Amino acid sequence: MLYSRRIGAADLFQITEFTGPTHDALWMLPGLSRETLDAHAAWLNPGFWLPHTNRLIFTMQLFVLKMSDRIIVVDTGVGNHKSRRADSQNMLNTPMFDWLEGIGAGPDEVTHVVQTHLHGDHVGWNTHVVDGRWEPFFQNATYYFPATDFAVFQSRYESGERDLYGRAFADSVLPIVETASTRFVRDGDTIADCLVAQAAPGHTEGQLTYSLRLADEPEYIFSADVLHSPMQVLFPEINSRWCELPEVAGKTRRALLHHAAKNAAVLLPAHAAGLGGWQIAGQGDGFLVQFA
């Protein structure tokens, strides 16, 4: 599936590797009850949750931003031929090259590859197999890694972590650092004169979101994995199972929602299908979500 929209002078594309009911909702979002889900079933079903299977709808994807002389990829999905623990992500084989070529963003034309964090479902297309070796897929691009995440993941890898996140670090991050143009990003940095990094710790220690501000357009925020489900807008205290710093993740989520509501910013969560985005409104001490 491919979505596109015009934002000012830019074209934004979302290329989905797959969308489907992948995760049990109560497993993925501990603290959320079936009763609460049922109370919101009318709008959650079928776009975000399937009641009969109790599965959340997840999308694995790449964002591609085309602006005059720049082609920017934000996060790179799962990738092909990658050994992963999750069955839904293991050894995928999708025609990503053709999809990118189809939108005029061939891998050799991409100028910037920007990572929100270094989990395996966000870094996969950094590399592809060439003669049995992992080589940069976007061979002419500069890759931008969150500095804190890189330091943390590198430390884990060097201490012997080779399974959950170590695999992705080995096949999708290290080959880039060793062979490609690489930069390390910190809070407040600007990339490609259009994306501003904002610290968003919790899901990982060094997760970043990226704010896109173009003339006469609302702010768009590539919000990474701060939000996995719109239920977390209504209940910001609920973390995903994968949030490494739970207390910090909740504070980050609430701060992002407050910013979006106050500034009419449009959120683009990493695992939500479509480019309409999530629009946030305050309601008392909480928040509501609308989908464009």
CATH classification at residue 80: 3.60.15.10
β pairing state of 127-130 and 220-222: unpaired
CB atoms within 10 A of CB 205: 16
> What's the mean pLDDT when you consider all of the chain?
96
In a domain, residue 236? The reply is no
Q: What's the pLDDT at 165?
A: 78
Report d(CA 196, CA 205) in Å as an integer. 18
Note whether 97 and 139 are within 8 A (CB): no
For the stretch 112-140, pLDDT in tens is 999 999 999 999 999 999 999 999 999 99
In a domain, residue 36? The reply is yes
- Residue range(s) defining the domain that contains residue 58: 2-218
Return the SS3 of 268.
Answer: strand
Report d(CA 205, CA 201) in Å as an integer. 5
Is 0.95 surpassed by the pTM of this model? yes
How many structural domains is the chain composed of?
1
Q: What's the pLDDT at 292?
A: 76
Note whether 56 and 49 are within 8 A (CB): yes
Beta bridge partners of 139: none
H or E segment and range at residue 233: helix 231-234
CB atoms within 10 A of CB 159: 8
In a domain, residue 275? The reply is no
Note whether 9 and 79 are within 8 A (CB): no
Q: What's the pLDDT at 166?
A: 79
> Taking residues 1-21, what's their average pLDDT?
95
Q: What's the pLDDT at 1?
A: 81
> Taking residues 267-282, what's their average pLDDT?
95
For the stretch 136-173, pLDDT in tens is 999 999 999 999 999 999 999 999 877 767 799 999 99
In a domain, residue 284? The reply is no
Note whether 164 and 121 are within 8 A (CB): no
Q: Is pLDDT at 224 greater than 80 in this prediction?
A: yes
> Taking residues 48-55, what's their average pLDDT?
97
In a domain, residue 141? The reply is yes
In a domain, residue 233? The reply is no
% residues pLDDT > 70 (the chain): 100
In a domain, residue 252? The reply is no
For the stretch 243-260, pLDDT in tens is 999 999 999 999 999 999
Q: Is pLDDT at 44 greater than 90 in this prediction?
A: yes
For the stretch 73-105, pLDDT in tens is 999 999 999 988 878 888 889 999 999 999 999
Burial class (CB in 10 A: 0-12, 13-18, 19+), 8: middle
> Taking residues 181-197, what's their average pLDDT?
98
Report d(CA 223, CA 270) in Å as an integer. 7
